[in-house]
Every structure is written in C-alpha cells, then in structure tokens.
Amino acid sequence: TTLLSHCLQNQPPLTFSTNRNSSGLVLSSMMRLYDVPANSMRLKYQHTGTILDYHQLKMLDLNTDQENFAGTHDAPIRCVEYCPEVNVMVIGSWDQTVKLWDPRTPCNAGTFSQPEKVYTLSVSGVWLIVGSAGRRVLVWDLRNMGYVLQRRESSLKYQTRCIRAILNKQGYVLSSIEGPVAVEYLDPSPEVQKKYAFKCHRLKENNIEQIYPVNAISFHNIHNTFATGGSDGFVNIWDPFKKKRLCQFQRYPTSIASLAFSNDGTTLAIASSYMYEMHDTEHPEDGIFIRQVTDAETNPKSPCTWQDFTYLSAMLMIIKQFVLPNGGFITINKETRAILILIL
C-alpha cells in the first residue's frame, strides 16, 4: 500500500504509535497522522519550517489541535524521542546538546553537552545512546544525567548515520554512510564484547561494487530482529543473534530514508525518498509504502531441538528402509530441519 507522496527526510520522518490499540502512523517533514488500516489521513499540521530542520520544539495536542511552544535549540533539532520510564522527551540537536523536556509542563529538565553535532539517538528503557559527528557514541542513564556512563568510538570507519537500541537493552545497532551495520553490546567486559558487523546494501554494477549508505534501522518488537534501509533502495531483515540476513524485499523506487515497524510487528512502514546522494538530479517521486510482514520474514528460525532430531532420525530410518532399498545418501540439516535424500 502507498500512503502518499511528499518530501521526506531521514532520522526519522515516520513512527508508529506506541499504543498497542492504535494503528496511527505519524509522518514528517510536514506532519501528517494516518490511520493505516483505513488508509486515510486523520490530521495534517502545517509548520512554519521543515520538521526536524528547525530550532524550535513545539507540542501539538492531537485531540484539540492546540499547539504549545516548549523551547528552542541554537541549531536545527535532529532527533526527538520519548522515554516513558522517566516521562521525558529527549531532543538531540546540531548545537551539540541533548535536552530533556517534561511534557507535562512543558519545561527544560536539563541540557547536556555532547562532543559534536548530534546525528542520531535512541532510547531503550532508561538508557540513552547518542551518535554524534566524529564517529562518537555516548551512553547515558536518563535517571542520572550527571555523568556519561560510556564514551565510545564507532567500530565503523565512516560517519554514523543511524543508531537503534536492541530491545533487550543489552546493546545497540549502528549504521554508517559506507554500507555496513555494526552490533555492539553495552557490557564492557571482554567476554561480552563480541561486536561484529554485517556487510549490507552493496550492489555490483558493471563488475564494480557500489557501496550505499544505510539510512534507517527499525527493530521488530516481538522477535527482536531488525530491518535496515539503504540508499540502494532495498530493505533487509536481519537476525542480530545468529548474525545473518533473514530476507530482502523488492527494490523500492529510490533511497530508503526511514523505517518503522508497528507496535504489534505486523506492519512495516517504508519511506522511499531521494536523499541527494548524487546531488540535485532527476529522481523518482517520494512516497510511504506500507508492507504487511509475516513471521517467515521477521522471525528467526529456532535451532533443531533434541526431540526434533530424534523424530527426524526415526523418519530417516523409515525412508531408508522403504524408499531407498537399493542404497542412497540421507542427511539432516539441523537448523532448517530439512531432509536431503540422494537416490543412487
């Protein structure tokens, strides 16, 4: 399903409601609220500037359409997230600060300096993970922002594009402009620090490998797998624990600027929008695509248990006795639970 076509930017132009009973999808750069099952726009908000490219923070009551001014940054606001555990809005800006805002007042609950411009951030429980210029990664505890818990450098070689916290709160996934995605863990102990990276969003064209930025990451709330979207126009689904790709969707018209799984994990919203990687040139129309995803696409296959293996072994004995009386070769793939038979 295609919802609309209009100008989009990454980080992120869309997000689903966190309410399990709601199917609302919020879009920027000019904010719109969509009812996904009905494929209808519920609200359109005209701002004086492009959202997430503006210095002011405003709050909009979706029931009354009342707008409230909350505060400002000294440079464009880059990221906005909400932490229900602490009940604060977390705002990252190019003015090299992260500010916390109390949505009830609203008022500034604290300003915290960052080493560089804030490019991306992610909240998981009480953990705040900030990715800034210079490949820096800072980890904060939102309950006590008096000091930085961890100061890190990205394991990827080039500029960070997106960070998303793993939903089990053990680590985070980050992407860069050079094509890979890294999985890193918060526990600093050597036995836990088994960080690794996927090579993804690369295409061979005329025998030359083209490497594309990875612009977007979104985690599946049920299975803890995640989707990546790149400037190659593809969306991939990954299993971070088995370190492999589960599937790849068809190519979209242009760059994937943002992704968002619905809270129940049945729907993936995909923002396809040219991000001027090749400067100002003719490009396909921007749009939002709604894809219904299946367990086969998002659920990592569980390994074969001992009970499964025993059952398959018994089946093999029957097959060998009645199907291959003259001999043959039989084996089991324990991970996929498939039986391979070679008849001689």
The 3-state secondary structure of 157-189 reads CCCEEEEEECCCCCEEEEEECCCEEEEEECCCC
Do residues 268 and 329 both lie within one domain? no
CB atoms < 10 A from the CB of 275, how many? 16
Do residues 152 and 282 both lie within one domain? yes
The token duo for 270 is: 């995909």
**Partner residues linked to 268 by β-bridges:** 261, 291
Do residues 175 and 254 both lie within one domain? yes
Do residues 82 and 153 both lie within one domain? yes
**What pLDDT does 86 receive?**
93
The token duo for 190 is: 């050597």
pLDDT of 85 over the 90 cut: yes
Inter-CA distances, 135 with 29, 118, 164, 189, Å: 26, 10, 15, 22
Do residues 45 and 170 both lie within one domain? yes
**What pLDDT does 10 receive?**
43
Q: Do residues 51 and 72 make contact, with C-beta atoms less than 8 angstroms apart?
A: no
More confident residue, 99 or 188: 99
**What pLDDT does 176 receive?**
93
Q: Which residue has the tokens 């921007």?
A: 286
**What pLDDT does 243 receive?**
86
Which whole number is the average pLDDT over 67-84?
87
Do residues 22 and 156 both lie within one domain? yes
SS3 content of the chain, % helix, strand, coil (to 5): 5, 45, 45
Distance CA 163, CA 131 (A): 7
Which whole number is the average pLDDT over 74-95?
92
Do residues 316 and 280 both lie within one domain? no
Distance CA 259, CA 236 (A): 11
**Which range has the worst mean pLDDT, 40-44, 147-151, 283-287, 305-309?**
305-309
**What pLDDT does 253 receive?**
92
Please provide the distance, in angstroms rounded to a whole number, between the alpha carbons at the two ends of the chain.
49
pLDDT of 29 over the 60 cut: no
| Residue 8 counted as domain residue | no
Chain centroid to Cα 83, Å, comes to 17
**What pLDDT does 9 receive?**
44
Distance CA 290, CA 231 (A): 18
Do residues 293 and 310 both lie within one domain? no
**What pLDDT does 146 receive?**
93
Residue 251 — pLDDT band, cuts 50, 70, 90?
A: very high
**What pLDDT does 4 receive?**
47
| Residue 267 counted as domain residue | yes
CB atoms < 10 A from the CB of 270, how many? 23
| Residue 39 counted as domain residue | yes
pLDDT of 310 over the 70 cut: no
Do residues 241 and 332 both lie within one domain? no
List helix spans (H) across 203-286.
Answer: none
List helix spans (H) across 91-236.
Answer: none
**Which range has the worst mean pLDDT, 47-56, 298-307, 327-336?**
327-336
**What pLDDT does 5 receive?**
43
Distance CA 16, CA 35 (A): 10
Distance CA 166, CA 181 (A): 13
Question: What is the per-residue pLDDT across 171-214, written as a single tens digit (0 to 9) for each?
Answer: 999 999 988 899 998 887 776 667 788 888 988 888 888 899 99
**Which range has the worst mean pLDDT, 129-133, 143-147, 230-234, 304-308?**
304-308
Map residue 145 onto helix, strand or coil. Answer: coil
What's the CATH number where 66 sits?
A: 2.130.10.10
Domains contained in the chain, number: 2
**What pLDDT does 342 receive?**
56
| Residue 5 counted as domain residue | no
**What pLDDT does 12 receive?**
46
| Residue 34 counted as domain residue | yes
pLDDT of 280 over the 80 cut: no
**What pLDDT does 315 receive?**
67
CB atoms < 10 A from the CB of 193, how many? 12
More confident residue, 25 or 200: 200
Distance CA 172, CA 138 (A): 12
Q: State which residues form the domain around 320.
A: 306-343
Do residues 337 and 262 both lie within one domain? no
Percentage of the chain lying above the pLDDT 90 cut: 41
pLDDT of 236 over the 90 cut: yes
| Residue 4 counted as domain residue | no
| Residue 207 counted as domain residue | yes
Which whole number is the average pLDDT over 213-222?
94
The pTM score is: 0.79
Do residues 268 and 318 both lie within one domain? no
Do residues 152 and 234 both lie within one domain? yes
Chain centroid to Cα 162, Å, comes to 8
| Residue 189 counted as domain residue | yes
Q: Indicate the average pLDDT of the chain.
A: 81
**What pLDDT does 172 receive?**
94
pLDDT of 53 over the 80 cut: no
**What pLDDT does 340 receive?**
59
Domain limit, last residue, from 282, 298, 314 = 298
**What pLDDT does 311 receive?**
61
Domain limit, last residue, from 298, 315, 330 = 298
